[in-house]
Amino acid sequence: MSVSIFERAQTSARYLREQIKREIDVAVVLGSGLGAFAEKLEEKLIIPYEQIPDFARSTVEGHSGRLVVGTLPGTALTIAVMQGRFHYYEGYSLEEVTLPLRTFGALNVKRLVLTNAAGGVNTAYRAGDLMLITDHINLMMISPLRGQHDDRLGARFPDMTEVYSRAYRQFALESAAELGIKLHEGVYMSLQGPNYETPAEVRMLRLLGADAVGMSTVPEAIVARQMGMQTLGISLITNAAAGVEEGEINHAEVMEMGQRVSGQFGQLLSKIIARM
């Protein structure tokens, strides 16, 4: 008999509770090239994913594959940071992709920050820009909630009117203004990947209302919404999507841009979380 996703999350949570020995105030998921934020934490506890029961393994360059728990400098907040996530394109099911979010829910985490590296579909965006996610479009064509329902995970038909918290978005805008950082507001669209989109597909995405495109985040946000988490989403625009500018797109470019803006990104994230 297979073990339910609820029970698997409880098992992971029990292990983490024994290791961490304190309540987590905010959980953060870091996208490609953005792992440096975790190094800012004080009194760090580092737990490789392979040590956490039922967690998958991150196989993508730029995803360190470890959970870093510590205190955000200047605050008393305990932050749990995922240095890297799991992706559907790696061959994992969406249950496996979102198990860390289920685990955070089992640990009673109510505040979540999701970040990602994304391609700029909006022609006004430039590489290195940051985009506050106001909403998303799921073109992965599959939901992480598909399958037999378990009431312990949340509502069968969760409302998606406000997946990304309006209050948190306001915190982000205020923090960016104080730091003098330009922060776009836009719609994130997710596709399965791992191939990048064609120029024709990017034109279609723009017509459908996307400002940025990537291969993650949306399944996590849906699960977080079902569990009642307040969620903030931020995309780093690492490159112009195919056809927007001349030249090819590659993962090394994504990684390089993440490293280039890591300092500014970390400043902004720290200020936002302190407000949360």
Q: Does residue 216 carry a catalytic annotation?
A: yes
Q: Which of 116, 122, 175, 216 is catalytic?
A: 216
Please name the residue that has the structure tokens 């038909």.
157
Q: Which of 7, 93, 138, 251 is catalytic?
A: 251
Q: Does residue 2 carry a catalytic annotation?
A: no
Q: Which of 27, 38, 58, 63 is catalytic?
A: 63
Which pair of tokens denotes residue 172?
A: 């982000």
Q: Does residue 239 carry a catalytic annotation?
A: yes
Q: Which of 175, 235, 239, 270 is catalytic?
A: 239
Q: Does residue 184 carry a catalytic annotation?
A: no
CA distances to 83, 123, 181 from 128, in Å:
20, 14, 11
Please name the residue that has the structure tokens 């305990």.
78
Q: Does residue 136 carry a catalytic annotation?
A: no
Q: Which of 56, 87, 127, 190 is catalytic?
A: 87
Q: Does residue 227 carry a catalytic annotation?
A: no
Greatest CA span in the chain, whole angstroms? 55
Which pair of tokens denotes residue 244?
A: 């927007």
Q: Which of 15, 89, 92, 162 is catalytic?
A: 89
Q: Which of 9, 27, 82, 117 is catalytic?
A: 117
Q: Which of 215, 224, 229, 241 is catalytic?
A: 215
Q: How far apart are CA 163 and CA 221, in angstroms?
A: 7
Q: Does residue 251 carry a catalytic annotation?
A: yes
Q: Are 261 and 115 in contact (CB under 8 A)?
A: no
Q: Does residue 87 carry a catalytic annotation?
A: yes
Q: Which of 38, 58, 80, 90 is catalytic?
A: 90
Give the residue numbers annotated as catalytic, written as ranges. Answer: 32, 63, 87, 89-90, 117, 215-216, 239, 251
